[in-house]
Amino acid sequence: MPIYLIGMMGSGKTTLGKILSDILDKKFIDIDTEIEKLERKKIHHIFLQKGEEYFRDVETKILKKTENEDAIISTGGGIILKKENREILKKHKTLFLYVPIEILLKRIDTENRPLLKNGKYKLYDIWNKRKELYENFKKIDLKNFDIYESTAKILYEICEKKSSEIVNDFQKIIFKVKGIEDLKDKKNIFTSEIVNKIYGNNFINPYILENGEKIKNIENVKKIYLYLIKNNINKKDAIYGVGGGTVTDLIGFIGSTFKRGIKTIFYPTTLLSQVDAALGGKNAINFEDIKNIIGTFKVPDKVIIDPLTVISQKNENYYEGIIEAFKLAIIDGNISLFLDNIKKIKKRNLNIIMDIIKFSVKTKLSIVSKDPFDNNIRKILNLGHTFGHSFESITGISHGLAVGWGIKKEIELFGPNIKDKKLILDFLEEIIPENIYNMNININKLKKFILHDKKIIFKNQITIPIINTVGNVELKKIDILNYL
Ligand SMILES: NC(=O)c1ccc[n+]([C@@H]2O[C@H](COP(=O)([O-])OP(=O)(O)OC[C@H]3O[C@@H](n4cnc5c(N)ncnc54)[C@H](O)[C@@H]3O)[C@@H](O)[C@H]2O)c1
């Protein structure tokens, strides 16, 4: 089935089309490129030598050929000018990518754009002539969105709703492509600014929190308790945590303490929250600069994972989720899921993201269900976290990347000769930005933080997960000073 992207020059049809084709495993066709290949000339030469009418005829010929392609197809801005073309486009899924002229003017140059040969400001005339024709098609307003946010917005128009349950006895997890759209008739939605900016069209009157770690504090807890009291929320009502791990941690804590526990439903929207934070029933807020020092255990009543939300994440945040999932693979043994698919992971291929989420849910919950209150085996999930947390506190680098650095450091210290060391390190090196991966931290600084770690049992004794080999991670009691 062809999916056509139409819109003004500079609206992102080609850039977004290529990203979408990688995400969806579909072919990508650019009609302008096909015209240039067929004519063996640049577009402005075709215009100059043969005129616009000739160009439009070739364009129609190629458009007709694409009708049987299962592809993402980017079109030239003027394709909608001909009635014949509009009729073809109307038979298929065609999306109009709208970006205001003021933004387009900043983006485009005039090279190989024959219609702008008299200057960029001609764009206003072109828009005025075409806008009504574009409006015949499904419009996606991309004015406030970056590349990945725009890609996600388009995916919600392309993908079909699909849902399945990930079966386990510990926690109810529903995997639902486009699940976030179900929030349209729900009350008591708590979300973050960015999530509201991108997905707010699905929320009625949400409670909007700032972005990031700073929301996990006692002041927000008080404000939300007051909000719930004012709105007469009681045990039969549900509250919805819609966002990354910071939102699910905060709302999980509120849900477990308000009226001694009310119905709590999570829609985790970052990969890290889908593969880790929303699973297993731990929640926490920070206090006096101590991370996760106040919290409870309460398994949320439902977790709905919509994998499409991952696509709109900033690269760094996306990779944080990949690292936490890779940690689970080192524990479980299934690192080939990651090593064999590194290119697809980098291109955010949806099938591989879905496989990684499903694998992570299964693996994390199978560990957590054996030790729900974190007294024993669940602690192996702290792999990379002892050094990772210290690194995070010292450098301020975000959690997931710090855990990646921590895994590398812990391998160097505790398992320099393990069998699959190179495979693990090569993968981390591909994923973590070079300056972070190779960052050296003063050993005394590290020592200071590690000796205050929650996992210290007595003096310098710490229980720490140590990799024997991939698929065999063991909790060991060690004297940390023997290694630092
Ligand atoms: N409870 C647990 O078991 C557990 C486990 C691991 C981590 N955590 C906690 O999770 C938190 C980290 O979670 P995180 O990495 O999701 O960070 P986060 O919640 O801060 O999200 C990162 C950023 O991405 C934005 N965002 C969220 N969804 C988005 C989307 N779909 N598209 C674009 N942007 C989006 C957020 O607004 C934020 O700015 C930490 O506080 C950590 O302690 C908890």
pLDDT bracket for residue 112 (50, 70, 90): low
pLDDT at 116 over 80: no
More confident site: 373 or 450 = 373
Q: What six digits make up the tokens of 475?
A: 């909790």
Q: Which CATH architecture has domain 3-158?
A: 3-Layer(aba) Sandwich (3.40)
Determine the number of helices (DSSP H) and then strands (DSSP E) in the chain. Answer: 20, 17
Residue nearest to atom 9 of ligand 1 (CA): 245
* Domain boundaries defined on the chain: 3-158, 162-313, 377-482
Q: Which CATH architecture has domain 162-313?
A: 3-Layer(aba) Sandwich (3.40)
Pick the closest to residue 421 from 285, 330, 318, 295 (CA basis).
330
pLDDT bracket for residue 444 (50, 70, 90): confident
What is the pLDDT of the chain when averaged over all its residues? Answer: 94
Q: What does the pLDDT average to over 173-193?
A: 97
Tens digits of residue pLDDT in 190-204? 999 999 999 999 999
Distance 431 CA to ligand 1 centre (A): 18
The strand ranges marked E within 168-231 are: 173-177, 189-192, 207-209
pLDDT bracket for residue 460 (50, 70, 90): confident
pLDDT of residue 90: 97
More confident site: 282 or 116 = 282
pLDDT of residue 119: 76
Cα dist from 337 to 326, 354, 357, 426, whole Å = 9, 12, 11, 14
User: DSSP assignment, residue 475?
Assistant: E
Question: 171-185, 268-282, 404-418: lowest mean pLDDT where?
Answer: 404-418
pLDDT at 354 over 90: yes
CATH of domain 377-482: 1.20.1090.10
Distance 419 CA to ligand 1 centre (A): 33
Query: Among residues of the chain, what percentage have pLDDT more than 70?
Result: 99
What number does the ligand 1 atom closest to the CA of 291 have?
43
Residue entry with tokens 């996992």: 455
For residues 387 and 374, what is the distance between their CA atoms, to the nearest angstrom?
19
pLDDT bracket for residue 29 (50, 70, 90): very high
377-482 and 162-313 share a CATH fold: no
Residues with CB under 6 A from ligand 1: 192, 194-195, 198, 211-213, 216, 243-247, 249, 269-270, 272-273, 276-277, 280, 282-283, 292, 309, 312-313, 317, 320, 399-400
Residue nearest to atom 37 of ligand 1 (CA): 211
Question: 93-97, 164-168, 466-470: lowest mean pLDDT where?
Answer: 164-168
Tens digits of residue pLDDT in 286-337? 998 788 899 999 999 999 999 999 999 999 999 999 999 999 999 999 999 9
For residues 350 and 337, what is the distance between their CA atoms, to the nearest angstrom?
14
Asked if 214 and 243 count as a contact pair (C-beta separation under 8 A), the reply is: no
